[in-house]
Amino acid sequence: MSISPHKVLPKIRILSEDLANQIAAGEVVERPASVVKELVENSIDAGATMIRLDIEGGGKKKIRIMDNGMGMAPEECRLAFSRHATSKISRFEDLQSIHSLGFRGEALASIASVSKVRCTSSRNESEGGKLVLMEGGEILEEKDVACPQGTTIEVAQLFYATPARSKFLKGDSTEFSHITQVITQQALANPHIQFILTHNTREVINTLPTDQLHYRIAELFGADLAKFLLEVEAQSGDYHLIGFVSSPVHTRSSRSAQYCFINGRFVRDKVILHATQQGYSHLLPKGQHPAMFLYLTMDPRLIDINVHPSKAEVRFAFQQDVHQFVAHGVRSALENNQQVSIDLTAREQVGTSMEERPKQVSSQPNNQVPQWTNRSHLSNQGDHSQSLRTFMGQGPAASQVPCFDRAPTPVANLIYSEFEPLGQLNRSFIIMQGKQGLLVVDQHVAHERILYERFLETAKNRKVEVQKLLFPLTLELSPGESEMLTPHLERLLELGLELEHFGQNEFLLRSVPAILKNADHEKLLRETIDLLPRGTHEDVLNGKYEDVLIMMSCRNAIKVNHTLNLDQIRKLISELEQTSMPYTCPHGRPISLLFEIDDILKNFLRK
């Protein structure tokens, strides 16, 4: 075997400034929203009290930002677009105590290297300002102009100089939704600043300056959310926490309304999110998340924000201290709220009274179903699986009942009509007997499968039976949610949800699928919005709309702790047997478990 000679590497050389800027742009400028974030942060650092953004084509065609900040002196306008040019820091020690949003000095040079930029700025209207035109990082024109105090920057044809990068951008609506999210974050971080955002001349956001954070939240997310927020305030040493969290009874199925700011900077931090979740402890339903708007301030020397070019990730000097502080602050807010305190007390009283209630099995006349109960179920209504684990010999009380050598098997080929219903276990599971053994059916997921296939069939044929609402429901959304929902109105109508614009970011719900006429319509809509895709690729759309159908089915299915008589059980089982997939729910969970007769006989020493 011959050995190929080593490849001769080219000589080490210093990259050209243009190439270095384009490489830096790859880290700083990912999409139009990245440009908006950097430019808005510059405006905030310049002391602006009004920031206006006009966006065209999702930001791919044009981004124009105007502010009334301090502006730049004429000699600074050219310098601002040089790499590593910044007014925020001047020595290494400044990195240990950063108070501004920007400090790297890379953003403007990176943006200018991949787009066409027009910048006008002035520190004094009476003295005039400077105009700078750039393309691909090169200055084309520079001249004195008359302009008001502040800075206006226009970024056109983003990534025109790097066409390969533009291929990775999404559709206009998707890119603009990311921009909307950036402005929402900055508007929450700076309630004293007026933010105006337009897209293709349509106004999307227009906030009023205020010193009341609660008012700014209501502006962006609607009064319906704001009125269920609880105030958070905590102080301990170098840490100070203020903000709002939602009542445990008003949660969402996604984290779309969770915002955390550290020293005025929006961050995505797992420590804060986990601490908040721990603060709620057992108060949150499974799969639900609170709304939160938390503002943590600390000594800048206790945090490192120079972790990533986007500055959205941070490191704490004392992570455990921050975690405990935030969790305690959130928990205190929940406990100090009168409504929550009452709920907690009521829950504890219910648990005690049920724990003391004796077990009993009573014969039921006529068509009523006998109920099997146990102590573990009564002490915790939420854990219905515990009863089943005990019944199967897998729970903590397993030593008190006969155990099966093998766990019950999820069924995949039996005929339900060959089993006879006996009753319910914990008013949550249907118990049936047959030649093959004992069958346990989860009534909720069984009904979920039935409803899902009904929804799927009617949606496919566009024959959804709808129920007109006597009084249309008004839904206030955040600008980001509004932008997310608008492209899907026609498709949602095919599913039976008739929505129309009503105001800037408000919608009227006029009809719902008839099968959901008794559902919580506002909760249904918010969960639907959380599931909608940002993109418009057909495969993504189909997958997401299927998620909407699954969610609708789950919300309208028979719940656990719901009594069924024998006729209702037989009807449910008959409808389940007629579905195309009667053994798993749309989420993939098993509908039925079979305790085989051979195992039962063996454990009673009859085999």
Is the pLDDT higher at 429 or at 532? 429
Q: What percent of the chain has pLDDT over 90?
A: 29
CATH superfamily, region 17-206: Histidine kinase-like ATPase, C-terminal domain (3.30.565.10)
Phi, psi of 11 (to 5 degrees): -70, 150
The answer to whether the beta carbons of residues 510 and 499 sit under 8 Å apart is: yes
Q: Which residue has the higher pLDDT, 254 or 537?
A: 254
User: Which conformational region is residue 32 in: left (phi greater than 0), alpha (psi within -120 to 50 degrees), or beta?
Assistant: alpha
Least confident of 370-379, 412-421, 555-564: 370-379
> Residues 526-558, buried b or exposed e (16+ Cβ, 10 A)?
bbbbbbbbbeeeeeebeebbbbbbbbbbbbbbb
pTM attached to this predicted model: 0.63
Does 360 score more than 60 pLDDT?
Answer: no
| Tokens 């209630």 -> residue | 357
Residue 252's identity, in one-letter code, is R
Length of the chain: 607
Return the higher-pLDDT residue of 460 and 318: 318
Residue 363 has pLDDT above 80, yes or no: no
Residues 316-335: tens digit of each pLDDT: 888 889 999 999 999 898 87
The model's confidence at residue 58, banded by pLDDT at 50, 70 and 90, is very high
What would the mean pLDDT of 155-183 be, rounded to a whole number? 86
Domain range summary for the chain, segments of one domain joined by +: 17-206, 213-342, 360-607
The pLDDT assigned to 378 comes to 30
**Comparing C-alpha atoms, which of 234, 58, 409 is closest to residue 245?**
234
Signed CA dihedral, 348, 353, 358, 364: sign only: negative
Higher pLDDT, 538 or 418: 418
- pLDDT at residue 565 tops 90: yes
pLDDT at 379: 32
Q: Which residues contact 171 (CB under 8 A, 6 or more apart)?
A: 58, 535, 536
User: Looking at residue 514, what is its pLDDT?
Assistant: 77
Q: Do the beta carbons of residue 70 and residue 47 sit within 8 Å?
A: yes
Contact 145, 119 (CB under 8 A): no
CA 3 to the chain's CA centroid: 55
Question: β-pairing, 303-304 with 315-316?
Answer: antiparallel
Least reliable range by pLDDT among 63-77, 216-230, 387-401? 387-401
Q: What is the arithmetic mean of pLDDT over 241-267?
A: 87
Confidence band of 5 (pLDDT split at 50, 70, 90): low
What per-residue confidence (pLDDT) applies to 126? 83
Q: What is the pLDDT of residue 21?
A: 53
Query: Quick one: pLDDT band at residue 408, thresholds 50, 70, 90?
Result: confident
Distance CA 377, CA 356 (A): 12
Average pLDDT over residues 252-278: 87
What is the distance between the alpha carbons of residues 314 and 263, in angstroms, rounded to a whole number?
11
* pLDDT of 569 strictly over 90: yes
Q: Render pLDDT for 476-505 as a digit per residue (tens, 0 to 9).
A: 888 888 888 888 888 888 878 899 988 788
Average pLDDT over residues 255-270: 88
Separation between Cα atoms, residue 208 and residue 519, nearest integer Å: 36
Query: Mean per-residue pLDDT for 213-234?
Result: 89
As a whole number, the mean pLDDT across the chain is 77
Q: Is pLDDT of 353 > 50?
A: no
CA-to-CA distance for 372 and 355, rounded, in angstroms?
16
Q: Which CATH architecture has domain 360-607?
A: 2-Layer Sandwich (3.30)
Sheet with 429-434, side-by-side order of all strands: 371-372, 420-425, 429-434, 437-442, 592-596, 409-410
CATH topology of domain 213-342: Ribosomal Protein S5; domain 2 (3.30.230)
Q: Is the pLDDT of residue 510 over 70?
A: yes
Cite the beta strand spans of 447-559 per DSSP E: 466-476, 498-501, 506-513
| 536 DSSP β-pair partners | none
Kindly indicate the confidence band of residue 388, based on its pLDDT and cuts at 50, 70 and 90.
Answer: very low
Selection from 586, 557, 573, 272 nearest residue 421 by Cα: 573
Residue percentage of the chain with pLDDT more than 70: 75
| 533-551 average pLDDT score | 60
Q: What is the pLDDT of residue 10?
A: 61
Confidence of residue 535 (pLDDT cuts 50, 70, 90): low
**What is the model's pLDDT at position 380?**
35
**pLDDT of 365 higher than 60:** no
388: left (phi over 0), alpha (psi -120 to 50) or beta: alpha
| Three-state DSSP class for residue 391 | helix
User: pLDDT at position 69, please?
Assistant: 93
Q: Mean per-residue pLDDT for 402-421?
A: 73
**Half-sphere exposure of residue 337, counting CA atoms within 13 Å on the CB side?**
22
Amino acid making up residue 605: L
d(CA 370, CA 322): 52
| Position 367 pLDDT exceeds 50 | no
Nearest to 57, CA basis, from 133, 160, 170: 170
pLDDT, average across residues 539-549: 60
The closest of 168, 158, 198, 175 to 66, measured between CA atoms, is 198
How many CB atoms are located within 10 Å of the residue 303 CB? 21
- Greatest C-alpha distance within the chain: 103
Q: Where does the pLDDT of residue 389 fall: very low under 50, low under 70, confident under 90, or very high at 90 and above?
A: very low
Closest CA relative to residue 279, chosen from 295, 290, 268: 290
